[in-house]
Amino acid sequence: AQSVAQPEDQVNVAEGNPLTVKCTYSVSGNPYLFWYVQYPNRGLQFLLKYITGDNLVKGSYGFEAEFNKSQTSFHLKKPSALVSDSALYFCAVRDLSEAGSYQLTFGKGTKLSVIP
């Protein structure tokens, strides 16, 4: 069965500094990886995905993620953090269940706090 780990419950970063939110995965076969963000009192918003191709994936709001097959990682990055980036970030892997459903398996989430 596939799994996703987000080793940090919380990440604090100063505004303007680069940020990284870590994610590692374990899947059989090719990984299909996603990042979602949840702002307070809002639903999960899709940020970016890796399906195939270039290991550096660019997404919404200036975020990007680097797929590293050898390290089984898919870390989320942004060159310069904004206070408005403060939110809960979820990494997810998508796989085909025995019943034929492409369901998402999520990590526990990482709370990002950007300090002014």
Partner 1 sequence: EAGVTQFPSHSVIEKGQTVTLRCDPISGHDNLYWYRRVMGKEIKFLLHFVKESKQDESGMPNNRFLAERTGGTYSTLKVQPAELEDSGVYFCASSYSTGISYEQYFGPGTRLTVT
Binds partner 1 by CB under 8 A, chosen from 1, 43, 70, 116: 43
Question: Does the protein bind partner 1 through residue 53 (CB under 8 A)?
Answer: no
Task: Answer yes or no: are the C-beta atoms of 19 and 112 closer than 8 Å.
Answer: yes
Task: Answer yes or no: are the C-beta atoms of 73 and 81 closer than 8 Å.
Answer: no
Question: Does the protein bind partner 1 through residue 58 (CB under 8 A)?
Answer: no
Binds partner 1 by CB under 8 A, chosen from 87, 90, 110, 112: 90
Q: In the bound complex, what is the minimum distance in angstroms from residue 56's beta carbon to partner 1?
A: 17
Question: Does the protein bind partner 1 through residue 104 (CB under 8 A)?
Answer: yes
How would DSSP label each residue in 12-57?
EEETTS-EEE--EEE-SSS--EEEEEE-TTS-EEEEEEE-SS-SEE
Binds partner 1 by CB under 8 A, chosen from 10, 68, 71, 108: 108
By C-alpha distance, which of 22, 11, 113, 37 is closest to 76? Answer: 22
Six-digit token pair at 73? 């990682």
Q: In the bound complex, what is the minimum distance in angstroms from residue 102's beta carbon to partner 1?
A: 5
Site for partner 1, rule CB under 8 A: 4, 32, 34, 36, 41-46, 49, 51, 90, 92, 94, 96-109
